[in-house]
Amino acid sequence: MHLDQKVSLKALHTFGMEVEARYFVEAKTQSEVLTLLNYRQMIHMPILFLGGGSNVLFTRDFSGIVIKISAKGISAVETDDGHVLVSVEAGENWDEFVQYCVNRGWSGLENLSLIPGTVGAAPIQNIGAYGVEVKEIIESVLVVDINTAKQRRLTNAECSFGYRDSVFKNTLKGKVIILNVTFKLLNPNLPTYQLTNLPPYQLHYPDLQHELASMSIAAPAIADIREAVCRIRRRKLPDTFVAGNAGSFFKNPVIMKEQLDSLKATFPDLPHFPNQGKGTIKIPAAWLIDQCGWKGYRNGDAGVHPNQPLVLVNYGNATGRQILDLANQIMESVKQKFGILLEMEVNVF
Ligand code: EPU
């Protein structure tokens, strides 16, 4: 392992800001992660564990040590109930892993195609898209305690998953590192699959249905679903190689029925999605931001994406501060107009 000084983080996070880490080291295996943790007590400075860097905004240079986790490896075992348990090292690229499963006909992750980032980051914010959240497919998560270097495997229930939320953003925040994730996928090729009575694919999200229809596909195979999701994402979301971004910058707000009813009196077109648990309702933040007139806004190199206003964009040389200022202005205008406080999904440093 190499400890480097004054390392540019521009290519190591998807917003692409020109910021520096005071120290930088890459852990390429699980045992390298554990070795670094054994030196933990000697490192008297802030530590940031970085995966694919697809959910961070740097507003300044990082004055501590950045540890990039890039351990790789995938292993799978078939179960006798139509499933396959796939164990994946945290540093695997998320979308390459999804492709790996789709190639083998293992279903469960195809709706989560083309999401940037690493496998180890997926459980932290319970990534979700096109009607599927990763919590539905996670069997367990292997973590190591940052202070004691002790390993522990968390069951799905112990991860306390919620909408873009988990134990890793709450009680375990800053306390553990995710080393490995085990997924439970369906394997429709196994003879025992018929016994599960489970549908192989999740096709209820309207955008996905429209895309498959526009591809003239009535009975999609797993590769068709991945292709449809990739087409929607490529059309709606900016390519991080062309314009820096971190996907959805805000969470979709979840409100109570009473608040919805009073908002609907003034905004009858307000879209909403019920059944978020405990009688709550999800409102698309993209709609709220759009209604406040931000869609396609640009000030210098900081902007709001013209096709998906939930995504803030660095068109070249925007600073993290400029993006954060823009985020605050958006939050203020949504609060003024709708009385709803948006919550950031991205981690700001
Ligand atoms: N909308 C507008 N104007 C627009 C675009 C969208 O008003 O220009 C409204 C429409 O009412 C639309 C609604 O927003 O029906 C929802 O839009 P979309 O289906 O694009 O999804 P989203 O709620 O904005 C969420 C996730 C995305 C995920 C998509 C697809 C969050 C915060 N975002 O976005 O996840 O890809 O659904 O399932 O939950 C991410 O988290 O980084 C991310 C990209």
What pLDDT does 56 receive? 95
Going from the Cα of 163 to the center of ligand 1, the distance in angstroms, rounded, reads 14
Looking at the structure, do residues 47 and 114 belong to the same domain, yes or no?
no
Looking at the structure, do residues 173 and 315 belong to the same domain, yes or no?
no
What pLDDT does 158 receive? 98
Looking at the structure, do residues 83 and 172 belong to the same domain, yes or no?
yes
DSSP state of 112: G
Mean pLDDT by 10 residues, the chain (349 residues): 94 95 94 86 84 94 94 92 94 97 96 95 96 97 92 98 94 94 92 81 95 95 97 88 90 92 94 80 96 97 95 96 98 97 95
Q: What is the pTM of this model?
A: 0.92
**Per-residue DSSP letters for 70-96?**
----EEEEE-TTSEEEEEEETTSBHHH
What pLDDT does 121 receive? 94
User: For position 8, which CATH number holds?
Assistant: 3.30.43.10
Task: State the total domains in the chain.
Answer: 3
Question: Which two three-digit tokens encode residue 158?
Answer: 């112990």
Going from the Cα of 310 to the center of ligand 1, the distance in angstroms, rounded, reads 7
Looking at the structure, do residues 179 and 266 belong to the same domain, yes or no?
no
What is the residue with the minimal CA distance to atom 21 of ligand 1?
A: 284
151 inside domain? yes
Residue 56: give the domain boundaries. 4-69
What pLDDT does 199 receive? 82
What pLDDT does 147 receive? 87
User: For position 318, which CATH number holds?
Assistant: 3.90.78.10
Looking at the structure, do residues 188 and 332 belong to the same domain, yes or no?
no
For a mutational test of ligand 1's pocket, the pick from 135, 310, 347, i.e. the residue with the most ligand atoms closer than 8 A to its C-beta, is 310
Half-sphere exposure of 248 (CA within 13 A, CB side): 20
What pLDDT does 276 receive? 65
What pLDDT does 44 receive? 80
Looking at the structure, do residues 80 and 194 belong to the same domain, yes or no?
yes
Looking at the structure, do residues 65 and 79 belong to the same domain, yes or no?
no
Looking at the structure, do residues 277 and 338 belong to the same domain, yes or no?
yes
End-to-end CA distance of the chain: give it in Å, rounded. Answer: 25
Looking at the structure, do residues 49 and 180 belong to the same domain, yes or no?
no
Looking at the structure, do residues 201 and 92 belong to the same domain, yes or no?
yes
Looking at the structure, do residues 172 and 225 belong to the same domain, yes or no?
yes
Looking at the structure, do residues 286 and 340 belong to the same domain, yes or no?
yes
